[in-house]
Chains A and B, each alone.
Chain A
Amino acid sequence: EAQVTQNPRYLITVTGKKLTVTCSQNMNHEYMSWYRQDPGLGLRQIYYSMNVEVTDKGDVPEGYKVSRKEKRNFPLILESPSPNQTSLYFCASSFSRGQSYEQYFGPGTRLTVT
């Protein structure tokens, strides 16, 4: 079954404790992206990757890191989480190297930073 998976789905952590949210897709998609969704703000792009070892900043990259060492995986790293990073996070992938194609979203990760 073609899908995008994220882990964990729910996470409660404390300020400053490094964490990683994993994202994996089995569709051989070149493009992957991370978004955060906050009430009243819609979906905002954090980082995206056009291909292996190629990443770029989205609209709200501060406080986040990503890596793309393999085509299927695109982890999101919070080196020192803060309460303002409490949010719902979505990973997405697309078959195209550009952004102008349908994106397939993962199920979401709800993160709470206390």
Chain B
Amino acid sequence: GENVEQHPSTLSVQEGDSAVIKCTYSDSASNYFPWYKQELGKRPQLIIDIRSNVGEKKDQRIAVTLNKTAKHFSLHITETQPEDSAVYFCAASSDDKIIFGKGTRLHILP
């Protein structure tokens, strides 16, 4: 079946450094790629998304890149801060299906 692979499962970076999380998908019909952040004990919340007609999108310290040919997309967080510590989920969606990655636990080290 269709799936979304997300790597790494755990990531530790020094405060102020950059973090990169990568996802690959298998469904060619996917046209929407959101990233959700889930803080401990909280609900997932959208932080950035990208559609298939765009290669890159940026919002302050976070950016997402998409390579449709290779079927992979990445989340980039620059100048990481303690409040970036959370679990991040990528997803690949078409009009009638959405599949989430298994998540990346990001630790920001002081």
- A residues engaging B (CB < 8 A)? 33, 35, 40-45, 56, 59, 90, 98-103, 105-108
A42 and B101: CB pair below 8 A? yes
Residues on A with beta carbons closer than 8 Å to the beta carbon of B97: 99
Given contacts A42-B6, A42-B101, A43-B44, 9 further A-B contacts (CB under 8 A): A42-B89, A45-B100, A56-B96, A59-B1, A100-B31, A100-B32, A100-B94, A105-B43, A105-B45
Could you list some 15 contacts between A and B, CB below 8 A? A35-B100, A40-B9, A42-B6, A43-B91, A43-B100, A44-B100, A45-B99, A56-B96, A59-B1, A99-B93, A100-B51, A100-B95, A102-B49, A105-B43, A105-B44
Count of chain B residues with a beta carbon within 8 Å of a chain A beta carbon: 25
Q: Which residue of A lies closest to B98 (CB)?
A: A99
User: A9 CB to closest chain B CB, in angstroms?
Assistant: 11
B100 and A42: CB pair below 8 A? yes
The main secondary structure of chain A at its interface with chain B is loop
Residues on B with beta carbons closer than 8 Å to the beta carbon of A101: 32
B94 and A41: CB pair below 8 A? no
Residues on B with beta carbons closer than 8 Å to the beta carbon of A56: 96
B43 and A90: CB pair below 8 A? yes
A108 and B93: CB pair below 8 A? no
Alpha-carbon distance A106/B32, docked complex (angstroms)? 21
B34 and A43: CB pair below 8 A? no
Residues on A with beta carbons closer than 8 Å to the beta carbon of B68: none
B43 and A99: CB pair below 8 A? no
A108-B98 CB under 8 A given contacts A43-B89, A102-B49: no
